[in-house]
Structures are given as C-alpha cells and as structure tokens.
Amino acid sequence: MSTVHRLPGIVTTDHVFRVPLDHRRPDGERIEVYAREVVAAGRENDALPWLVYLQGGPGGKAGRPLGADSWLARALDDHRVLLLDQRGTGRSTPANRQTLARLGSPEQQAEYLAHFRADSIVRDAELIRRTLLGEQGRWSLLGQSFGGFCTLTYLSLAPEGVREAYVTGGLAGLRSSAEDVYRAAYPRVARKNAAHYRRYPADVEAVRRIAAHLAEQPARLPDGGELTVRAFQALGLLLGSGSGSHQLHYLLEEAWVDGVEGPELSDTFLAGAQAQLSFAQGPLYAVLHESIYGQRSVGPGGTEWAAERVRKEFPEFDAGTALGTDAPVLFTGEMIYPWMFETDPALRPLRETAQLLADRGDWPDLYDVERLAANEVPVFAAVYHDDMYVDTADSLATAEAVGNLRPWVTNEWEHDGLRVSGRVVLDHLMRMARGDL
C-alpha cells in the first residue's frame, strides 16, 4: 500500500515499481525503481495531467520536496508531478560500493552497470507510464541537465508516450563524442575561472598558496580521502552554478589556521572541500559519467577517460606549470578523472569496475537522429548562454536538428537556473508552450 505524506502545500505518495534490469530480457533479473507522486494540497482527486521530472546527473536522485517551493510550485499549478529516482539512486535499488560488492567481480559489476544509462531510464519510465496512466495515456517531461539528455532519448525511443517536453540546460550534442564534449568544455571552464578571479582578485594568490602547500604535502580529508592538488582543482565544479563562485571564495577565506607547527589547512576548509568532492552520495555520477556520451555510431571504441586525455591539450590547467610562473592556478569543472578512484574512499572499491566501463566499446546509440528530425512532440528548451556544463553550440545545433523544438537562450541564469529561479524558468517555458511568448 502506498504511503501518503502531507507537507506544506503538497501531498506526496510513494510508488515502487519492479522493472527488468535488462529490458531486452523482461523475464530476467528485476530491480526496483522508486518515484514520488506530488500534487497540490486539496487537488488530490483532480484529473490533472502528469509531469515527470528527470533529474540531472548521471546518478542523481530526484530532489526531496519540503513543500510547494521553487519550480515545483509552478509545476503544481497545472500538473500532478512524478519525481523519479532513476535506477541505482535514492530509494530505487541502490548501486554503490556496498551493494555492487555483492555482485562479485569487477566484470560482473560493470556488466550490471551497463544497464544504467539513459536508454534504460527511459524504458523504466515507459513501464511506469503504462502502469499509472494506461497504454494510451501520455505525460509531459521536464528534463534538467542530464535529464534533458534522457528527454532526447525518450523522444528517440518512445515519443508516443509524451504530450510535451521541457528541457533546462540539457540539450546534448546528438553526434558529440566524449572527446568532443571535453575539448569544448575546457575553454568554457577557463572562462569561468577568469570571471571568478576578476570578481575575487585576491583569490589568485590564495589558490596558489593552497596548491603549493598540497603539492608538497597532500592533506587528509575527514572521511580518509586525499586532497591532492588535482582534487583541489576539482572544486571548480562549483563555478558552473549561479552562486558557486561565491561559495568557492568563502571556502577559500577559511582555508588556514595557526596550528602547533605553524599555518595549516583548517578543519573547516577540509570539511567544506570534502562536501564538494566526495561521491559517497552519488557514486554513479563518477562511474557512469563518460559512458553517457558513448554511441557506437559516433565512436565504436571506449571513452577511455576522455577528460584526462583531452586535458593534455590545455596545459594552462597544469598546476605545476602555473606554480612555476606567476600564472593563476585554474580549477577544473565537470570532469571525471581516473585518479578520483584512488583519492575518494567512496570510489576506491569501484576503480576496476570504472576502468572496465571506460574500456567498454560499442555502446548502443542513445539518439535516433532521423526520428528526432521528424519529431512532432512540442519541446521547449532553456539554453543557458555559456553554460559551463553543457556546450551552448551543441545545444543550439540540437535545437536545429530536433523537429518542433523551440529554444529560449538566456544569460540571466547559470546551469542551475531551474532550481534557483523559483518559478521563473519553468513558467517561461510553460508560457512558451501556451503561445504567450
């Protein structure tokens, strides 16, 4: 029996669905996928159209609502919302170092995780749609970031189940390889660094001091992880969000204390760095990250740690070189590197599994370019100008390639615009759908 909860302004209902691990083998192993139904208080019995929220990631669980706030408040004006914990995340059958160890060898773990990409997520959603709405029922999609990638896969595999789709910061390059993605990403990340250092010029020396210290003596994080120079640079992931530059600055402000033997990195700083760098709450983000770009028609080989390989083309990100001059030390962005599976205790048991996935080739295609070109489902997409995480050029090319897709290009928000704008971003897209804009 479903559990119902009442929160400020909303009523939630828990749903758990049993789905095939491999949808090609419906009678084989099954896993659970959890979804939270949310409706405005007082409208529980109304015949509202459904809106499915596809979370960013990969490997991200849906947000946990505290009430009718942020984009959810706007969505609930017109819809019954389904917050999907994509397979392996949240309250769905979890996939992490603890549970994957039960499967046996790294080879067995990698084979299991090969079924956790967008195509499987979409097929889960289709099974759920038929269960909740019936075979002929249709629902709307809201895809944030990686959720937008999943939306494009949905329109490639099962557009008949979709009434309309909204995408925020998630129009993937349909023919972009992992190498293409990172080759375009490093210059964007460099621009975000430059903007940060213009905003906080004293941070240039603050970052150099920390990097020089870590180059001589890596620090131990509270969870036992290792803060190396490269791990410190990975804090640049913050620079892609609206408030991330400020968060990074405030973290740097409290980096040092005077200890028994002189200045040392503070517990406050180390705990703050760990909060940003640890993958304990979302290991699939690291393990599956580059595989989301794998498509046999684009590149039949493995992704092979594309971010690490392409980084060599951008020597300005080499901290050692920067410290040998007066150049600023640059932070990196949304890149996953093999060394992370050595420095992060949550990832360390999965390093062989991650390597096997990086080596894996012949990934099935995620996008049907011809079917997308003929798409008839209305799609409305927010494209954030100079988005650090998703290449704007790729997004605009995809907007041209997908039929019936209308983009809204804005520089008012960063990648997290859906969340931080309150009702604004989703309301704009929904007004576009109504023909008001």
The pLDDT tens digits for 348-407 are: 999 999 999 999 999 999 999 999 999 999 999 999 998 999 999 999 999 999 999 999
Task: Name the pTM for this structure.
Answer: 0.97
235 and 307 in a single domain? The answer is: yes
Tell how strand 256-259 and strand 262-265 pair up: antiparallel
91 and 145 in a single domain? The answer is: yes
pLDDT score, position 49: 98
Residue where one domain finishes, among candidates 340, 359, 378: 359
C-alpha distance across the termini of the chain, in Å = 43
pLDDT score, position 150: 98
Mean of pLDDT values over 331-349: 98
Distance in angstroms (rounded) separating the CA atoms of residues 316 and 304: 22
Name the domain count of the chain.
2
Q: Which CATH number do you get for residue 78? A: 3.40.50.1820
Distance in angstroms (rounded) separating the CA atoms of residues 47 and 43: 9
The parent domain of residue 409 ranges over: 4-174+367-434
If pLDDT is split at 50, 70 and 90, which confidence band does 1 have? low
**Which of 267, 359, 362, 386 is labelled catalytic?**
362
Residue 374, phi-psi category: left (phi > 0), alpha (psi -120 to 50), beta (remainder): alpha
pLDDT score, position 286: 98
124 and 192 in a single domain? The answer is: no
**What are the two backbone dihedrals, phi and then psi, of residue 353, each rounded to the nearest 5 degrees?**
-65, -45
* In 158-301, beta strands by DSSP E: 162-168, 219-220, 226-227, 256-259, 262-265
Residue where one domain finishes, among candidates 328, 359, 390: 359
Distance in angstroms (rounded) separating the CA atoms of residues 329 and 190: 10
156 and 227 in a single domain? The answer is: no
pLDDT score, position 2: 76
What pLDDT, in 10s, does the model give residues 64-83?
A: 999 999 999 999 999 999 99
207 and 141 in a single domain? The answer is: no
Task: Flag whether pLDDT at 243 surpasses 80.
Answer: yes
**Which of 70, 92, 140, 145 is labelled catalytic?**
145
What pLDDT, in 10s, does the model give residues 174-186?
A: 999 999 999 999 9
List, as one string, the DSSP characters of 392-422: HHHHHHHHHHSTTEEEEEESS--TTHHHHTT
Distance in angstroms (rounded) separating the CA atoms of residues 343 and 338: 10
350 and 335 in a single domain? The answer is: yes
270 and 339 in a single domain? The answer is: yes
For the chain, what's the residue count?
A: 437
15 and 74 in a single domain? The answer is: yes
- Tell me whether residue 415 is one of the annotated catalytic residues: yes
210 and 347 in a single domain? The answer is: yes
pLDDT score, position 368: 98
Angle between helices 70-78 and 424-434 (to 10 degrees): 30
Angle between helices 146-157 and 118-133 (to 10 degrees): 70
Task: Flag whether pLDDT at 214 surpasses 80.
Answer: yes
pLDDT score, position 10: 98
Task: Flag whether pLDDT at 414 surpasses 90.
Answer: yes
HSE at residue 161, side-chain half, CA atoms within 13 A, is 25
**What are the two backbone dihedrals, phi and then psi, of residue 172, each rounded to the nearest 5 degrees?**
-75, 155
What pLDDT, in 10s, does the model give residues 123-156?
A: 999 999 999 999 999 999 999 999 999 999 999 9
Distance in angstroms (rounded) separating the CA atoms of residues 109 and 102: 9
Over pLDDT 90: what percentage of the chain?
Answer: 98
Long-range contacts of 241-247 (CB under 8 A, 24+ apart): 241/414, 241/415, 241/416, 241/420, 242/413, 242/414, 242/416, 242/417, 242/420, 243/420, 244/414, 245/192, 245/195, 245/196, 245/199, 245/200
Mean of pLDDT values over 287-303: 95
Mean of pLDDT values over 30-53: 98
pLDDT score, position 4: 96
Mean of pLDDT values over 84-97: 98
Residue where one domain finishes, among candidates 359, 387, 421: 359
**Which of 415, 416, 421, 428 is labelled catalytic?**
415
Mean of pLDDT values over 234-252: 97
What pLDDT, in 10s, does the model give residues 298-308?
A: 998 999 999 99
194 and 169 in a single domain? The answer is: no
77 and 146 in a single domain? The answer is: yes
242 and 294 in a single domain? The answer is: yes
